[in-house]
Every structure is written in C-alpha cells, then in structure tokens.
Amino acid sequence: MEKFNIAIDGPAGAGKSTVARLVARALGFVYIDTGAMYRAVTWKALQIGIAPERKDELVRMAAGLRIELHPGEDGQQVVLDGQDVTGLIRSSEVNRNVSAVAAVPDIRALLVAKQQEMAKAGGVVMDGRDIGTHVLPNAELKIFLTASVKERAERRYLEMKAKGEDVTLEQLEREIAERDRLDEQREASPLVRAHDAVLVDTSGMTVPQVVDRILELSNTAAGKGTR
Ligand code: CDP
Ligand code: CDP
C-alpha cells in the first residue's frame, strides 16, 4: 500500500489515541501520539519546578531535552533523556498544566519540527490538536474526532477507575471542559477542525466501529498518496 499520512485531531477523550493506534496497526503504519510530547515537556517542567508562566526557562529546558517515541504493543513508549516516562506523563498534575505549556509558541515550534521530521517518509498515523491544520497540512486523510463532553468524561472515568485512581466523574467533566476551552481559545495553533477534515462524532459508537469508518476513509485516501 502507498505510504500516505493520516492526521487525527480532536478534544480529550474523543478516542484519538485508541483509534489511531488500531488504524496504524491495521495499515502497517507508525502511530505517533503528539500529546505525549507536550506531556513529557510538562512533566519535566513540574519535576524541576519551572512554572508554565516562566516561558523563557521553559523553552530553554525543552530545547535541550531528548524526547524519543518508541512504538510498543500497548501503545507508545515515551523516553525522556534516557528515562522511560510513559507511566508518569498521564497524571492529574500533568493534565492540569499541559495546556498552558502547549500554548507557548516556541514550545510548539520545537515539537512541531520534530513531528514533521518523523512523518517525512510517510506511513504515519499522527494524533493531536493541530496535525491537520499545522503539522501535516498535506496529509492525505484528515479526521476530526469528537464526542460529547459527558461521554468523553465517562470514558476517562472508566479508564481511571480501572487503574484504581480516585477521581469523580464531575471532576473529570470539569477538567476536560477546561482543557477544551484552553486548547480551543489559545492563539498558537488552537484546536480547530481543518476545512478538509472529515468529522467523525464517536458519541454512541464503539471503538471497532470508529476504526472501520477510518479504514474505509483511508481506502479512498490511499489513491491520493503521492509519495
Ligand atoms: O489524551 P488527551 O486527549 O487527554 O490529551 P493529549 O492528546 O495527550 O494532549 C495533551 C495536551 O497537549 C492537550 O490538551 C493540548 O493542550 C496539548 N496538545 C497540543 O497542544 N497539540 C497537540 N498536537 C497535541 C497535544
Ligand atoms: O486520545 P484521546 O484523548 O482522544 O482518547 P483516548 O485516550 O483514546 O481515550 C478514549 C477512551 O474511550 C478509551 O478508554 C477507549 O477505549 C474509549 N472509547 C473510545 O476511544 N472510542 C469509542 N468510540 C468508545 C470508547
């Protein structure tokens, strides 16, 4: 099959990482979770005590970081300066701070350059907030995945409960709505549907149904592959 690129954007809990990973596996493509890169920078900043408002320090720190993404069976492994931080970057503390870090334009420029490099050869399924609009504007297939805030919060609740984390549904609904607001309203590459992205509302859909829908769309996109 042609090595084209697929961009998947959308708000938290829409199913981007779950679905993108399965689509990549079905097509033999590489899955790249760009949110993990913003999370890794945020985790490091919290670790060494740099508040998101101290933008210059944040950018200097991020510029010196070595962020590696390794595809794994259960998703993507994130390695920061040689340390596996995969399990550390999904904490509530990172959730609360990541949108502020991701709103810093120079942080975005650094990470976007890395993401574009990773997709150069084609054959990637990349998920995030600005993939179709900024990172891969020429992606052969763009998907904007969404679902109601209520359903997205319920999905996250089930995930966190399964991990034994102590959260309430109301707390998650508030957190998700706040992150949506920050991501949609920021000046640098806000979360917005690209004009040529296919909208897939996953409310009431199962994961296999969403994956099948995207694979169907990718059959058409395969014909557009120019690589
Ligand atoms: O998995 P979830 O949807 O909760 O979040 P994520 O994809 O891991 O992304 C975490 C945060 O990173 C988002 O809320 C955005 O603030 C930021 N992000 C971004 O700005 N641009 C991207 N391409 C990916 C993530
Ligand atoms: O990456 P994003 O934040 O968009 O979502 P995710 O981390 O993939 O989390 C979505 C959660 O909802 C996972 O637990 C999925 O099993 C579940 N889910 C889904 O992704 N899609 C559906 N249509 C239904 C449930």
Q: What's the pLDDT score for residue 133?
A: 96
Residue predicted with more confidence, 226 or 2 = 2
Q: Calculate mean pLDDT across residues 141-163.
A: 94
Atom of ligand 2 nearest to the CA of 20: 8
> What residue ranges line ligand 2, CB within 6 angstroms?
10, 12-18, 155, 159, 202, 205-207, 210
Measure the N-to-C terminal CA separation of the chain; round to a whole number of Å.
11
Q: What would the pLDDT profile of 21-30 be if each residue is shown by its tens digit?
A: 999 999 999 9
Residue whose CA lies nearest to ligand 1 atom number 14: 99
In whole angstroms, give the CA distance from residue 194 to residue 197.
5
pLDDT at 163: 86
- Dump pLDDT digits (tens) for 40-74: 999 999 999 999 899 999 999 999 999 999 987 77
Handedness of CA 124, 128, 131, 132 (dihedral sign): positive
Distance CA 30, CA 49 (A): 34
Alpha carbon nearest to ligand 1 atom 13, residue: 99
What confidence tier does 224 reach under pLDDT thresholds 50, 70, 90?
low
Confidence of residue 1 (pLDDT cuts 50, 70, 90): low
CA distances to 2, 120, 121, 134, 218 from 225, rounded to whole Å, are 6, 13, 12, 19, 10
Return the structure tokens found at 49. Answer: 């005590």
Strands (E), 93-191: 124-128, 141-146
Residues 178-210: pLDDT tens digits?
A: 999 999 999 999 999 999 999 999 999 999 999
State the pLDDT at residue 2.
67
With a pLDDT cut of 70, the percent of the chain lying above it is 97
In order of start, what are the domains of the chain with their CATH numbers?
Answer: 6-224 (3.40.50.300)
| Banded pLDDT at 146 (limits 50, 70, 90) | very high
- Which residue has the least CA distance to atom 18 on ligand 1? 35
DSSP string covering 25-65: HHHTPEEEEHHHHHHHHHHHHHHHT--TT-HHHHHHHHHT-
Q: Kindly indicate the confidence band of residue 34, based on its pLDDT and cuts at 50, 70 and 90.
A: very high
Instruction: Take residue 44 and report the two structure tokens written for it.
Output: 């490091």
